Amino acid sequence: MNKTLNNKAWFLVLPVLVLVAFSAVIPLMTVVNYSVQDTFGNNQFFWAGLEWFEEMLHEDRMWNALQRQLLFSAIILAIEVPLGVIVALNMPKSGIWSSFCLVVMSLPLLIPWNVVGTIWQIFGRVDIGLLGHTLEAMGIDYNYTQNVVDAWVTIIVMDVWHWTSLVALLAFAGLKSIPDAYYQAARIDQASRWKVFRYIELPKMSGVLMIAVLLRFMDSFMIYTEPFVVTGGGPGNATTLLSIDLVKMALGQFDLGPAAAFSLMYFLVILAISWVFYTVMTNLDKKGM
């Protein structure tokens, strides 16, 4: 086949390049710029090389935040994915109740992060919150502003409440795509409920579940607003996740250099984990072929 070569075609990609440059590349480069310089104010900068990176790598503060962050993401994935699948399995497959469930389940997804944070902040308060006050009235010692475990439980329950729907909706879409013949064949083959799930539903859902896990991982790893509104990172630093720590460092203490180095490493960690995760999942998929 003869292809027409016309270098003017590059102009067609120009709008995208400009857009990406302004939305991602230039801001990222600013951060790179800060990360290798030091300043004493007055817009005067000095070359610092990789000093900030070295310093941050030896800083317990970042490692602790990273640990908390990993723990948080692991917990919410471990809860939301199975829970979402269970919810999807038990949703009505068709009819008016199916639509009703879908709408109700979508509601939490539509609420802005800030509002979700505010809702749970008030909900959990011991003096006026429905949850906090009820727990206290029941004699359960609960106070998310003072107790580390309570604070963690609160932000985890909040995240589960906010995002399980996403997993459930994706899993439901996967389930809906399974033709009836599969279930009929399973009945003919006398497969137990567990085997139907294990050999029909789970394999057919695996594609969407992979996307769900990836989305939930990235989102939870970058979470900021909700825990910030509820606990402000406290008590102490107990719920200071990576983003919260980063904002404290960059805007609270105005340590631009270290914060920039921190954000770059943060970005690379997310990128690396997502990439590893994606590669492993797609390879597992291919192995089955």
Partner 1 sequence: MARITLDNLAHSYRSDPASEDDYALKELNHVWEDGAAYALLGSSGCGKSTLLNIISGLLQPSQGRILFDDRDVTHAETAERNIAQVFQFPVVYDTMTVRDNLAFPLRNRGRDEAYVAERVNEIARMIGMEEMLDRKARGLTADAKQKISLGRGMVRKDVNALLFDEPLTVIDPHMKWELRTQLKKLHHEFGHTMIYVTHDQTEALTFADKVVVMYDGRVVQIGTPEELFETPEHTFVGYFIGSPGMNLLPAEVEGSMARVGGQQIGLGRGYGPLSGKVEIGIRPEHARLSRDEGLPVTIRRIEDVGRHRIIRADFGGREINVIAGEDESVGPGMSRVAFDPARINVYADGWRVPGTA
Residue number with CB closer to partner 1 (112 or 288): 288
Residue number with CB closer to partner 1 (112 or 179): 179
- Candidates 27, 130, 189, 253: give the one binding partner 1 (CB under 8 A): 189
Cα–Cα dist 253/260, whole Å? 13
190 binds partner 1 (CB under 8 A): yes
44 binds partner 1 (CB under 8 A): no
43 binds partner 1 (CB under 8 A): no
- Candidates 23, 30, 184, 282: give the one binding partner 1 (CB under 8 A): 184
Q: How many residues bind partner 1 (CB under 8 A)?
A: 18
DSSP code per residue over 217-252:
HHHHHT--HHHHHHHTT-STTTT--HHHHHHIIIII
182 binds partner 1 (CB under 8 A): yes
Q: How far is the CB of 78 from partner 1 (least distance, A)?
A: 22
Pairing of strands 37-39, 45-47: antiparallel
Binding to partner 1, residues 104-143 (CB under 8 A): none
181 binds partner 1 (CB under 8 A): yes
Binding to partner 1, residues 195-224 (CB under 8 A): 195, 199-200, 203-204
Binding to partner 1, residues 260-279 (CB under 8 A): none
For 3, which DSSP code?
P
Q: Which helix (H) or strand (E) holds 38?
A: strand 37-39
For 47, which DSSP code?
E
Cα–Cα dist 105/162, whole Å? 10
- Candidates 6, 42, 94, 192: give the one binding partner 1 (CB under 8 A): 192
289 binds partner 1 (CB under 8 A): yes
Residue number with CB closer to partner 1 (43 or 190): 190
282 binds partner 1 (CB under 8 A): no
Other Cβ atoms less than 10 A from the Cβ of 17: the count is 11
Composition of the chain by helix, strand, coil, percent to 5: 75, 0, 20
Q: How far is the CB of 193 from partner 1 (least distance, A)?
A: 12
The greatest distance separating any two alpha carbons of the chain, rounded to the nearest whole angstrom, comes to: 81
96 binds partner 1 (CB under 8 A): no
Give CA separation, 113 vs 55, 117, 143, 229, 261, in Å: 33, 6, 22, 9, 27
Query: What's the distance, CA 192 to chain centroid?
Result: 35
Q: Which residues make up the interface to partner 1 (CB under 8 A)?
A: 179, 181-182, 184-185, 187-192, 195, 199-200, 203-204, 288-289
